[in-house]
Copies of this chain bind each other. A is one copy, B any other.
Amino acid sequence: MSRGSTLTTTSFAILGLLAVQPWSTYELTRQMDRSLGRIWPRAQSKLYEEPKKLVELGLAEASTEPVGRRPRTVYAITAAGRRALAGWLAEPGAGPVIEFEQLLKIFFAEQGTRADALATLAAAHAWAVERNEDNLVAAREYQAGAGPFQHRAAQNVLIGAFLVEFYRMVAEWADWATEQVEGWPQDPSRAIAEPALLAEVGRRADWDRPRVPLTRRGPSGIGD
């Protein structure tokens, strides 16, 4: 069974799509572009490769049909594939991983100009607006009855809600951060953080603390 470990999350993403219906590879790439790619982004060529592995392992079957003189490969899940997928779904899985280049640039803002930082934040805001628009377009298409996923609305709305909240959060953060940076001096390496700001962020981080009533020990401040 050591071959079982050769399946990556990307493999299961494909396998999951095949569980919904058979797809040609091109259709898979479209689907990735439009929906799955938001939460599991992968290059096109990967989507031509992975299904072959699934076939090797007996989790999917390939059939070719001609389109003019050239063949097209359509993949379908097998019973073994459904079992493997169910097994994967029973494991809790990994939490979100973020890669955020723009935030990296903010992290090193003191090595550049204030204008650099503001431009980066503007780009981040624009990114969130654009993604949100895409999301709305997809949702509207979906509501209009396009796509093969009408019967999957209950799941889709959970994904959509996550993305909506994420884009909104990024945009709000970028707005807030822009205000902060606008308050910086021209040379960002001289910027200082007001204690009140640190305290405010600290309070926002307090959502997961158990709400035990604290014993008051006098009018002391943070870090006490």
Closest-by-CB residue of B relative to A162 is B173
Known: A13-B104, A201-B161. A168 touches B207 (CB 8 A): yes
Q: Copy number in this complex?
A: 2
Give min CB distance, A103 to chain B, whole Å. Answer: 5
Residues of A in contact with B (beta carbons under 8 Å apart): 9, 12-13, 16, 19, 36, 38-41, 82, 85-86, 88-90, 92-113, 116, 119-120, 122-124, 127-129, 131-133, 135-136, 139-140, 143-144, 151-162, 164-173, 176-177, 180-181, 184, 188-189, 191-193, 197-198, 201-202, 204-205, 207-208, 222-223
Let me know if A180 and B158 touch, CB within 8 A. yes
Closest-by-CB residue of B relative to A124 is B95
Closest-by-CB residue of B relative to A168 is B207
Cβ-neighbour of A96 out of B9, B168, B170 (below 8 A): B170
Closest-by-CB residue of B relative to A183 is B154
The 17 listed contacts between A and B (C-beta, < 8 Å) are: A16-B107, A39-B103, A92-B123, A94-B102, A95-B101, A96-B99, A97-B99, A109-B155, A109-B158, A110-B154, A136-B205, A144-B223, A156-B193, A157-B198, A161-B176, A162-B173, A169-B169
Known: A39-B103, A107-B159, A180-B158. A128 touches B193 (CB 8 A): no
Let me know if A97 and B100 touch, CB within 8 A. yes
Give min CB distance, A185 to chain B, whole Å. Answer: 10
Main secondary structure of the interface of A (DSSP, over half): helix
Let me know if A177 and B161 touch, CB within 8 A. yes
Known: A93-B101, A161-B204. 8 other contacts (CB 8 A): A39-B100, A93-B104, A95-B123, A95-B124, A103-B162, A110-B154, A110-B155, A165-B169
